[in-house]
Chains A and B, each alone.
Chain A
Amino acid sequence: MPSVTVAGVTLPLRPGETILAGLHRAGYAYRIGCRRGGCGVCAAEVTSGEIAYAGPIAERALPPVTDPAAPPCLTCRAVPVTDVVIRLADGARFRCVAPMLAELAGATPRTDEQGEP
């Protein structure tokens, strides 16, 4: 299954799992809003790979494209279709709140430049 890499952490996702659902399952937290594709608070740039959406999103919730090579996505509804690397917004405060869950989920820290935020 596809994996997501964010801020130096790579996590294998389950079939159909959104990026947010996977990261929550693995004990990670970051700044999120409505979780329903409507507000844009959980947006991230996809610096590598492809995503699809598990449900509708409001187009106006997507932040403007600042880097055509890294289009924005809403992580609450984005499901990777290939391995993806994402970059969360400044101030997203990505952190592990349950290391035990990270270990169970097989989340592995990465140190190469691709995984850096």
Chain B
Amino acid sequence: MGVMRLGYVHARVTDLEEAKSHYADTLGMRIVHAEDDRLHLKAWDEYDHHSVVLEEGGVGLVKLGYKVQKPEDLSEFERRAQAFGCITERMSKGDNLAVGDGVRIVLPSDHVIELYNEIEVVGTETGTVNPNPFPRHLVGVGVPRIDHALITAEDPGLIERFFAEVLDFGTSERVVTDLDDGEVIGTWMFCGNTPHDIAVIKGPNAKLHHFAFYLNDWNDILRAGDLFAMDDVSVDIGPTRHGITRGTTIYFFDPAGNRNEVFSGGYITYPDFPTINWTTDQLAKGIFYISRELNERFTTVVT
């Protein structure tokens, strides 16, 4: 049993047409389903129906979907979430387009996550028989898949406990005020084999810091940056490297002001991965390894 990955990010945008241009034309996602007030999109190397849902009206995070391995995992995670003290509710097939029955959990930080096992499978764009390494028709950045989300919470240590105790996530890295029993200021957690499938930093409850798309290497990060300049994308910071996760990165904003990231690199994690700790006096190096200087925008802008 277990959570396999971040399956979808559902976010609000102020203008659906502008968002469509950003996610489809600049990032190169495919529109799977379009309605008047929302879009479902997927990236080319993903096989499930969608990984991003954009809903017109406002800005910020609606919910995160995490896909579990087996149908019976849902009731076990539901039981554990309730024991942890979270409000849960059952969601039915069809509540989310193409997604089956599931469990909705309100975290102590007021974020909403949905666990599900069943979602319509539409396949990658290279297929599963003698595939090419990438599709020829990609436009823009051509992101292959979403990677992780970073949310803000008043008590990151509590949310770390939730993901560890309820959902069996491991902690790859952590920022603490003191190595001996200090307060957790930030936590990076995995359910698969990447450095993070969720991360939480100290900040207001219920807010989104960013969600990220994976790219293959540093060259693709630079190329994405060039495309952001061509398309007048508002860039927060980068290209640069993180100390935490070792990833290379550019942070940028969608046309509604939600922060996105293109992320590459990192390392492999396993359930026995020894947690890396950063002390707050080295936070700037942990976040932006090269400049070792925090940017006020990065630390304060959330949607």
Chain A residues in the interface with B (C-beta under 8 A): 31-39, 41, 55-61
Q: A34-B257, A41-B300, A41-B301 are in contact. Are A58 and B15 (CB under 8 A)?
A: no
Q: Which residues of A contact B234 (CB under 8 A)?
A: 34-36
| Beta-carbon contact of A39 and B301 below 8 Å | yes
Asked whether B259 is an interface residue with its Cβ less than 8 Å from the other chain, the reply is yes
Q: Mark B248-272, 1 if CB is under 8 A from A, else 0.
A: 0000011111110000000000000
| Beta-carbon contact of A34 and B58 below 8 Å | no
Asked whether B136 is an interface residue with its Cβ less than 8 Å from the other chain, the reply is no
The 3 closest A-B pairs by CB, nearest first: A38-B257, A34-B257, A56-B14
| Beta-carbon contact of A58 and B297 below 8 Å | no
Provide a sorted-by-A list of 19 A–B residue pairs whose CB atoms are within 8 angstroms: A33-B297, A34-B257, A34-B258, A34-B301, A34-B303, A36-B253, A36-B256, A38-B258, A38-B303, A39-B257, A39-B301, A39-B303, A41-B300, A56-B15, A56-B18, A58-B14, A58-B59, A59-B58, A61-B59
Asked whether B180 is an interface residue with its Cβ less than 8 Å from the other chain, the reply is no
Shortest beta-carbon distance from B197 to chain A in Å: 25
Which residues 1-60 in B have Cβ within 8 Å of A in the complex?
14-15, 18, 58-60
Asked whether B81 is an interface residue with its Cβ less than 8 Å from the other chain, the reply is no
Asked whether B296 is an interface residue with its Cβ less than 8 Å from the other chain, the reply is yes
| Beta-carbon contact of A61 and B257 below 8 Å | yes
Known: A36-B256, A38-B257, A58-B59. 7 other contacts (CB 8 A): A31-B296, A32-B297, A35-B253, A37-B14, A41-B297, A55-B15, A56-B14
| Beta-carbon contact of A58 and B253 below 8 Å | no
| Beta-carbon contact of B59 and A60 below 8 Å | yes
Asked whether B302 is an interface residue with its Cβ less than 8 Å from the other chain, the reply is yes
Query: How many contacting A-B pairs (Cβ < 8 A)?
Result: 64
| Beta-carbon contact of A36 and B297 below 8 Å | no
Q: Which residues of B contact A57 (CB under 8 A)?
A: 14
**In the bound complex, CA of A36 to CA of B58 (Å):** 12
| Beta-carbon contact of B256 and A37 below 8 Å | yes
Shortest beta-carbon distance from B55 to chain A in Å: 13
| Beta-carbon contact of A60 and B58 below 8 Å | yes
| Beta-carbon contact of A36 and B301 below 8 Å | no
**In the bound complex, CA of A38 to CA of B259 (Å):** 10
Q: Which residues of B contact A41 (CB under 8 A)?
A: 297, 300-301
Q: Which residues of A contact B60 (CB under 8 A)?
A: 58, 60
**In the bound complex, CA of A33 to CA of B258 (Å):** 11
**In the bound complex, CA of A38 to CA of B301 (Å):** 9
